[in-house]
Structures are given as structure tokens and as C-alpha cells.
Structure 1
Amino acid sequence: MHLHLVLPGLLWPGTQTADPAGGLDLPALERLLGHGRLRTSAPTGADDWLHAAFALDPQQVSAAALRRLGEEDAGTPSGGADWLCADPVGLSFAREHLILADASTLDIAAGEAAALIDALNDTFADVGRFEAATPERWYLRPAEPPAARFVPLLQAVGRPVARSLPEGADASRWQRVTSEIQIMLHNHPVNRAREEAGRPLINSLWLWGGGHVPASARSPLPAVQAASPEVRGLARAAGIDPRTPNPIDALTTPTLVVLEHLARPALHLDLDAWRNGLAALEREWYVPVLDALKTGRLKTLILSAPGTRATLELTLSARNLWKFWQRPRSLDALHKTLP
């Protein structure tokens, strides 16, 4: 049996932090790191790594279409349909720059999202059709495919918005549309009520990820487990029904498991959340996986960790555990070998 764990954010990106995992009790992970064959390569974004793993060109993939396809309750996009993520965000001034905060900081209620989506569709019917799969993840099916390049949301969060504007043939049109959307949102009763209550405003949408669902996706393994809609959409594009991550089920058939406990904490340099995520992964995954290797229920483990400092790949077979001369290796010891 073969298991492939993908762990974006496993390698802590903050080079100034000494021993980020120091003091954590991670014996199962350290045993895996010490007995496996380790290889590091150039830094890779998790999305690009996953797209390549599913035989897709990362430069040609539509994040919006894949994420839309991976939503649980939003239906399935029709073939060939173009999509944009139209995620609700908050804009505020900081040191003379307009800075973007994503929806995770806004605490948007389902009723607020529904009211704003209705207003967007009433006002901007000529632009396309808006919908909210969840209060934090919104979409636009544009009336015409945009001839513009949009900056992914995660690359814009916390940065001056002026550095992340659309580019391309009709970029000016989409900048104008976005400005008009901001005016409508600012004047909407939902935001007036939020302002009176001292809550942050939902005062813009971030458009990104345009395109349609790829027709050529191929999964590297017969089963896929993932929680995020982006990865679940990849699986569905490859004709696989994705499952929720579960170590018991993952050990019954060759499975690709994407575990994103560490991705957001690493992105935001939230060390406490990252350490908590490591401890959870130790309990929920590393311990049962190590036990499965010891007992022979698992023959081969591959662990991939795409990151901004390096991309790590570990390969471990059950027989490697019998090499008594190899010692456990801490994650911090591994960090010290990275550029």
C-alpha cells in the first residue's frame, strides 16, 4: 500500500526564527525524517506543486474554476464556463497605502453575504452573475471572458493594493468595475450596520483566478483526500470523488492526502498556530502512519512539503525502519540545512 502526504507549510519560512519547533514532542515525525530518504529542491508554491502533480501546467490553470468545482454545496460548473473568484475583502489605509485584508478577518454572516450578492447581481447584471458558495468564498461568472491578468488573493493580502492591480488588454475596464463595486458596497445597508456596530467593512471584492475547468487533469493516485475546495476541485477535474482526510481510510488504498494545517500559519508567520498545527499532525497522522509502517500495513510513504524556502520530499519504505544505525531527526535540525 502506498501513501503520499502533501504538507504545505511544514518548513517554517521565517529564517530569523531560531528553532521554530523547539520544545514540541514530535517523536513520530522525527522518526520518519531520520529514516527516510530526504531530497530538497527549489522553492515551490503549494498550488503550483499540486497542479503539476495533476499533470496540469501551473501557468494555464484557473484557480477560480477549480475552487468552484470543489465547493460542497454550490453545484458543479457547466463545461467550458469561465469563472473568477470574487472574494469579499476589507480595504483600509495604513501609512498612506491602501491595504487589503481577506475575509478571514471580517466575520461575514451568511445573511450579510446573501444580501450583498443580491445587490451585486441587481447592479452589475451586465458584468456577469455573482454567487457566494460560503460567506467567505464568492464567485463571478463573467458575461465575457476577461482579457486581463489578476493577482491571486494570497499574494495581495497585507500588501499595498496599488501594487496588485489587474494587467492586460481590458485591465482598465476591470479596475473601473472594481471601483464601482466598492462604491455600491460602501453605501449598502449591510456595511452601514457594520460600521455602526464598529465592525470592519466588506468594502471591496478581489477578482482573481480566471479561466475554466481543465479537461486534462490526471490524479497521481487512485484516491484523493483533502479539505480545501481548491484541491477537491482538482480531484473532481481528474474524475475522482475526493474524501475528507482520514488516516484510517487513507491506509486502505493508494491515496494522495493534502493536509493544510500549516499552510496559513506559515503564510502569515503565525508561529503559535503553526506549532499547534504540528502537534495536531503528530497525533492525527504521523503516529498512525508510523505504526502502519512498523506493522507492514503501509509499504511506502512519500511526504512532500512545498514551501518558500525549499521543497522537501521524503521517501520511506517499511524496511527502512529496521536500519537501527539511523537516528531520529528533528524538524529544526532539518531547518538548519536549508538555504
Structure 2
Amino acid sequence: MASTTVVIPFALPPAELAPELSRNLQAPALAALLSRNSVLKKHAGAEDSRVLPHESWLANAAGAPLAAAVMRGFALEPAQGHWFIVHPVHIQLARNHLVLADTRRLQLAEADARVLFDLAKPFFDELVWGDANTWFMRADSWQGLDTASPDAAMGSNLADWMPAGPTALGFKKLQNEIQMLWHEHPVNEARQQRGLAPVNSFWMWGGGPAQANGSSTPRLAVAASGAAPVPGWLQALATPGAKAAPGESGVIVLPQLIPAAAGNDWGAWLGAIQQLEQEWFAPLLAALQDGSTSELTLVLTHREGWKEIRATKAALRKFWRAQTLKNLTQ
């Protein structure tokens, strides 16, 4: 029998919106899993964290800094050094401040990414290719730099999310050099002619030392994310051959809610939850009921923390517990 953990980033809506959103949800399977549980734990994220709770949870599960874990997923194994994940990005002006656009919607072709990568590479101590949207940089002297994930920073005043620390000035200088290098480059001119945003900067995060693969890394799968593609860094954490399907053992990440919630599009969030009800929650409930899954753990997150809810076939027999969505509230 399978023991399954399902990680659902942004399944917990903001407290002020949760009652209204819950009233507009028709999700009986999710209600059953939330209400008739054997374990319910609340976890608060670190107050000064600049990554989202599910990103921190995944790094802990991987047993290594995210940069090292993601590099392994791309079959890269640095022997030494301090590495960061790097994304080519679009930064836009919103009223009187800068905003980082959703990296999932950049639509950067590999050929164009290769051109920008090759232009930028001489400016880095070491820059390594992962895929069109995921590169890696070595910066041993930047170990104390506190960086934010792109999803944590997305849509907010970018000044609040820029790398901080004693070497932040060095990052800013490098970023300015790359921005000037890519400004009005033919790749970006062609993108704009096609109605696409220019790739005008880079973003780095997930830094840590090169680290060997831990022996206790769980089997992990990442489900497809509807209209928004799964970021390469997240897909790289998946175990080769692992299937993202109800009833499978190990950890399954469902990233479908991230774009809507990070962009504060709660109508789209409701639609995505309804789709998860049909494609995931109902089959997961059925797997518990027929015994093919022995234990199901839901890891439901929001910006400040997460809830861990565990269900079993025996817990589902707690008929005296009303099946409601109240555990979606914070």
C-alpha cells in the first residue's frame, strides 16, 4: 500500500479572503480529507524568510540547498564552491517602483536563451547552463548574500526583495552590467516585435555550498501545471521515473495554484482548486477508502507557513466530524 505526501503550494488562501473563497468552493472530497484526519499540525515560517514555505519544505526534503539539489536534477554535480540558481527575467515598471514579472510566462526559446547566456557568461566567475530559464552561477565570495525566490518577490516592490548582505553591492554591479549588455539586443528587439516582453535582467536565489546527494531523499514527482508550465528548477527536483498520479508512493507536488495565488488572481485560484478536486482530491480520497493508499499527508501552504494534515482509512470513519473546508482558513 502507498504512503503519499501531496504538497500543494498556496492551497491556503489569505485569512481575509478564506471564508468567501471557501463558500464558493464545491469540493466534497477535499472537505472529507481536511475534516476527517488523524493529524493536523500548523507550522509557521521563519519571519525573515525570503523564500516561500513550499520552497523551504522542498529544500529540507532534498537534504541540500536548492541550488545544489536542482543542479543534480540537471545532471550537474559541482565538486566545490557556493552556487546560486539564476533565471533570465523581465523586470517592469509599475507606477513608481519595479516589479518582477512571472518567470513562467517569459516564453524564452532555447535559441534566444543561448545567445543571452553566451553574452553574459564572461561576466560571471562561473555560469552553467541548465535549461532556457534555469542557469547556475558560482560565487564563492557571496556566501552571506540573502536572496529571495522569484515567486516570493513576484508582483511586489522589487526594492524590498533585492539581495541583501555585505556583498549586495557586488550583485547590483553585476546586474547592471548584464542589463546594459542585453538592452536593445537583437534577441530582445525580435521578442518585442512578436509581442513578448524583453529579457532585461537576471534573478538569483537558492544559494548554498556544493553538496553531495543525501541518502534519505524521498521519491518525488511534480504534476503538470495546466496553462502555466512547471519551472525547470522545480521539475529538476523530481526523481527520474517517478509518476505524479493519485495512489503513487512518495512526495507529489501540485504547483497548479502558484501562478494565480502569487498574482492575487483569486478567481483563477478557485477554478484551479475545482480542477484539483476532480483530478486529485476525489481520486486520493477513493484510494484511501479502498485501501490502495494507507496514509495520505497533505502539505498545504500560504505565504507565512503551512498546515500538515494526515488522513487514513480509519480516520475517514470519524462520521461525527462534519465535512467542511474550515481547515483551509489560516
Q: Give the partner amino acid of 2:171.
A: W
Cα separation, 2, equivalents of 1:18 and 1:287: 22
Q: Using structure 1 for the length normalisation, give the TM-score.
A: 0.80
Q: Give the partner amino acid of 2:114.
A: A
1:61-109 deviation line (CA, Å, top 9, x unaligned) = 53223223334xxx32333354322211122323332322243343222
Instruction: Look up the SS of the partner of 2:309 in the other structure.
Output: strand
Post-superposition shift, 1:138?
2.8
Residue 175 of structure 2 is aligned with which of 178, 192, 213? Answer: 178
Instruction: Look up the SS of the partner of 1:299 in the other structure.
Output: strand
Evaluate the alpha carbon distance shift between residue 209 and residue 50 of structure 1 in structure 2; reply closer, same or farther with a 3 A threshold: closer
The match for 2:56 is 48
Is the 1:225–1:257 Cα contact (8 Å) retained in structure 2?
Answer: yes
The match for 1:35 is 36
Note the residue ranges of structure 2 that are not aligned, 5 or more in a row: 46-52, 224-229
The match for 1:274 is 269
Is the 2:220–2:250 Cα contact (8 Å) retained in structure 1?
Answer: yes
Cα separation, 2, equivalents of 1:310 and 1:198: 37
Q: Give the partner amino acid of 1:42.
A: H
Residue 334 of structure 1 is aligned with which of 310, 327, 330? Answer: 327
Q: Give the partner amino acid of 2:198.
A: L
The match for 1:247 is 246
Q: Give the partner amino acid of 1:111.
A: A
Post-superposition shift, 1:185?
0.4
The match for 2:283 is 288
What aligned pairs does 1:136-147 form with structure 2 within 5 A after superposition? Answer: 137-142=133-138, 144-147=140-143
Is the 1:29–1:286 Cα contact (8 Å) retained in structure 2?
Answer: yes
Q: Give the partner amino acid of 2:242.
A: R
Cα separation, 2, equivalents of 1:102 and 1:50: 20
Cα separation, 2, equivalents of 1:308 and 1:144: 30
Q: Give the partner amino acid of 2:197.
A: P
1:34-78 deviation line (CA, Å, top 9, x unaligned) = 321352423331122233345x4xxxx53223223334xxx3233
Is the 2:134–2:233 Cα contact (8 Å) retained in structure 1?
Answer: no
Instruction: Look up the SS of the partner of 1:19 in the other structure.
Output: helix
Post-superposition shift, 1:233?
5.0
The match for 2:157 is 160
The match for 2:129 is 131
Q: Which structure would you say has the larger Rg? A: 1
Instruction: Look up the SS of the partner of 2:116 in the other structure.
Output: helix
Evaluate the alpha carbon distance shift between residue 96 and residue 320 of structure 1 in structure 2; reply closer, same or farther with a 3 A threshold: closer
Is the 1:43–1:307 Cα contact (8 Å) retained in structure 2?
Answer: no
Is the 1:131–1:139 Cα contact (8 Å) retained in structure 2?
Answer: yes
Instruction: Look up the SS of the partner of 1:120 in the other structure.
Output: helix
Instruction: Look up the SS of the partner of 2:16 in the other structure.
Output: coil
User: RMSD of aligned C-alpha atoms?
Assistant: 2.8
Q: Give the partner amino acid of 2:97.
A: H
Is the 1:148–1:171 Cα contact (8 Å) retained in structure 2?
Answer: no
Post-superposition shift, 1:180?
0.6
The match for 2:189 is 192
Evaluate the alpha carbon distance shift between residue 155 and residue 257 of structure 1 in structure 2; reply closer, same or farther with a 3 A threshold: closer
The match for 1:68 is 71
1:235-263 deviation line (CA, Å, top 9, x unaligned) = 6xxxx646131125x0xxx4222222223
104-113 or 202-211, larger mean C-alpha shift: 104-113
Cα separation, 2, equivalents of 1:70 and 1:220: 12
Is the 1:120–1:130 Cα contact (8 Å) retained in structure 2?
Answer: no
Q: Using structure 2 for the length normalisation, give the TM-score.
A: 0.82
Is the 1:14–1:269 Cα contact (8 Å) retained in structure 2?
Answer: no
Cα separation, 2, equivalents of 1:51 and 1:279: 28
Post-superposition shift, 1:213?
4.2
Note if 1:305 corresponds to 2:300: yes
Evaluate the alpha carbon distance shift between residue 324 and residue 266 of structure 1 in structure 2; reply closer, same or farther with a 3 A threshold: same
Evaluate the alpha carbon distance shift between residue 202 and residue 288 of structure 1 in structure 2; reply closer, same or farther with a 3 A threshold: same
Note the residue ranges of structure 1 that are not aligned, 5 or more in a row: none
Post-superposition shift, 1:209?
2.1
Post-superposition shift, 1:211?
2.4
